[in-house]
Amino acid sequence: MFSGLAMLGQGIATFLTFEGLFNIMWATLLGIAIGILPGLTATMGVALLVSLTYGMAPEQAILTLMCVYLGAIFGGSRTAILLNIPGTPASAATTLDGYPLAQQGRAGLAMGLATTASALGTLVGVIFLALLAPLLSEAALKFGSYEYFWLAAFGVVISGQISGSDSPLKGYISGILGLLIAMVGMEALHAYQRFTFGMRELSGGINLIPAMVGAFGMAEILSQMKARNTIRLDPVNDRVIPKMGELFTHWRTIIRSGLIGTGVGIVPGVGEDVAAWTSYAAAKKLSKHPEEYGKGSHEGLIAAETGNNSVVSAAMIPTLTLAIPGSAAAAVLIAAMYIHGIKPGPMLMIENPLFVYQVVAMLLLATFANLFFGLSLTNLFNNIARIPQERLMAVIAVLCVVGSFAISQRMFDVWVMLGFGIFGFVLRELKFPIAPMVLGIVLGPLLDTNLRRGLGLSNGDLTPFFTRPISLVLFLIILLAVLMSIPAFGRMMSKIFRRPAKATGASKPFEGKE
- Asked if residue 61 belongs to a domain, the reply is yes
In which domain, by residue range, is 185 found?
2-496
Rounded-to-integer distance, Cα 384 and Cα 424, Å: 27
What is the per-residue burial (b if ≥16 Cβ within 10 Å, else e) of 439-454? bbbbbbbbbbbbbbbb
pLDDT tens for each residue of 420-453: 999 989 998 888 887 778 778 877 887 888 888 8
pLDDT for the residue 228: 62
Virtual CA dihedral for 455, 457, 459, 461, nearest 10 degrees?
A: -50
- Asked if residue 53 belongs to a domain, the reply is yes
Range with lowest mean pLDDT among 135-139, 311-315, 500-504: 500-504
- List Cβ neighbours of 378 (8 Å cut-off, separation of 6 or more): 108, 111, 236, 240
Q: Does residue 510 register a pLDDT over 50?
A: no
- Asked if residue 508 belongs to a domain, the reply is no
**C-alpha pair distances (Å), 76 with each of 45, 156, 273, 383:** 12, 28, 11, 14
- What percent of the chain has pLDDT above 70? 85
pLDDT for the residue 501: 46
**C-alpha pair distances (Å), 336 with each of 213, 323, 333, 433:** 12, 12, 5, 19
- Asked if residue 505 belongs to a domain, the reply is no
Residue 194, strand partner residues: 185
- List Cβ neighbours of 382 (8 Å cut-off, separation of 6 or more): 78, 82, 233, 235, 236
- Tell me which DSSP letter residue 243 carries: P
pLDDT category, 285, cuts 50, 70, 90?
confident
pLDDT tens for each residue of 162-191: 544 567 788 888 888 989 998 998 887 777
Rounded-to-integer distance, Cα 283 and Cα 132, Å: 26
- What percent of the chain has pLDDT above 90? 9
pLDDT tens for each residue of 184-229: 988 877 778 888 888 888 888 888 778 877 887 788 788 877 766 5
Pick from 273, 332, 357: nearest CA to 2:
357
**Residue 322 CB neighbours (<10 A):** 22
Rounded-to-integer distance, Cα 245 and Cα 213, Å: 45
Break the chain down into helix, strand, coil percent, rounded to 5: 70, 0, 25
pLDDT category, 55, cuts 50, 70, 90?
confident
Range with lowest mean pLDDT among 139-148, 343-352, 379-388: 379-388
pLDDT tens for each residue of 455-467: 888 888 889 899 8
Q: Does residue 21 register a pLDDT over 90?
A: yes
pLDDT for the residue 507: 41
In contact, 187 and 447? CB cutoff 8 Å: no
Pick from 268, 274, 295, 273: nearest CA to 284:
295
pLDDT for the residue 514: 34
- Asked if residue 339 belongs to a domain, the reply is yes
- Asked if residue 511 belongs to a domain, the reply is no
Question: What are the two backbone dihedrals, phi and then psi, of residue 185, each rounded to the nearest 5 degrees?
Answer: 110, -165
- Asked if residue 504 belongs to a domain, the reply is no
What global pTM score does this model have? 0.69
**C-alpha pair distances (Å), 412 with each of 211, 389, 427:** 11, 29, 22
The domain total for the chain is 1
CA torsion sign, 281 to 283 to 288 to 292? negative
Q: Does residue 101 register a pLDDT over 80?
A: yes
Rounded-to-integer distance, Cα 225 and Cα 71, Å: 26
- List Cβ neighbours of 473 (8 Å cut-off, separation of 6 or more): none
- Asked if residue 465 belongs to a domain, the reply is yes
- Tell me which DSSP letter residue 180 carries: H
